[in-house]
Amino acid sequence: MNVAEALQTRKSVRAFLDRDVEEDRIKTILDAARHAPSGANTQPWQVAVVSGKTKLELQTKIESSFRKGDKGRADYTYYPENWVEPYKSRRKACGLQLYSTLNIAREDKSRQLEQWTANYRAFDAPVMLLFFMDGHMQTGSFIDYGMFLQSIMLLAVEQGLATCPQAALADYSALIKTVLGYPPDHILLCGMSLGYEDKAALVNSYRTPREEADSFTRYFR
């Protein structure tokens, strides 16, 4: 599989098989991803690979906090406070595509809530990856981290695995850092579910559209 094929094969998977991921596969992915570029070779990534009893404990605490009405607080602002076009429409279409695939009606708030709550279990994937960096790092390190995360997702495809990058897990940064023992001043950027895709699951049957390259590209000659 070449890079172009991996890019087009990768998708956000929200249902996984009840099958453990071999630790050697995870190590292979991370060992290759460490070659991702970073400004001045700072390599800001710090990765927590969470599975088994620790994952169960962590996701139970996160889900419990969410159900009690505690929405948590991320270490940084991911989305804009005021949405404008075309991003507002793209965001809305993304959510509608998920709910329409699962036949969840707009007025069915209960099922919408349950679908959202699945985020905090990493969609029941066997592995939850969490990505931290030192709190002293600045905006450039977020760019570095994006390249590192993409590398992990493409390498996962090569290993026959599926992923879903999750900003939602960063909402419970303080709780996660307490459970895992990371310093309070560290930044939790996001999480990622990792496992074997359940290809029979309806939620994995759709793909979000992408804009054509000509729509966002200008050539200067």
Burial class (CB in 10 A: 0-12, 13-18, 19+), 97: middle
Q: Omega into 37 within 30° of 0, i.e. cis?
A: no
83 CB neighbour count, 10 Å cutoff = 12
Please state the rounded mean pLDDT for residues 59-69: 97
Per DSSP, the three-state class of 47 is strand
Q: What is the mean pLDDT of the chain?
A: 97
Per residue in 85-142, pLDDT (tens digit) is 999 999 999 999 999 999 999 899 999 999 999 999 999 999 999 999 999 999 999 9
Which residues contact residue 215 at a Cβ distance below 8 angstroms, ignoring those fewer than 6 apart? none
**What residue type is 182 in one-letter code?**
Y
Distance separating alpha carbons of residues 170 and 190, to the nearest angstrom: 5
Q: Is the pLDDT of residue 37 over 90?
A: yes
Give the model's pLDDT for residue 214: 97
Distances, alpha carbon 213 to alpha carbons 11, 143, 149, in Å:
19, 21, 22
Report how far apart, in Å, the C-alpha atoms of 153 and of each of 5, 10, 86, 136, 143 are. Answer: 13, 7, 26, 26, 16
- Domains in the chain, please, with CATH? 3-77+121-201 (3.40.109.10)
Q: How many CA atoms lie within 13 A of 2 on its CB side?
A: 1
Confidence of residue 1 (pLDDT cuts 50, 70, 90): confident
Query: Alpha-carbon dihedral of residues 191, 81, 204, 21, nearest 10 degrees?
Result: 0
Residues 6+ apart with CB under 8 A from 52: none
> Each residue of 137-188: pLDDT tens digit?
999 999 999 999 999 999 999 999 999 999 999 999 999 999 999 999 999 9
Residue type (1 letter), 188: L
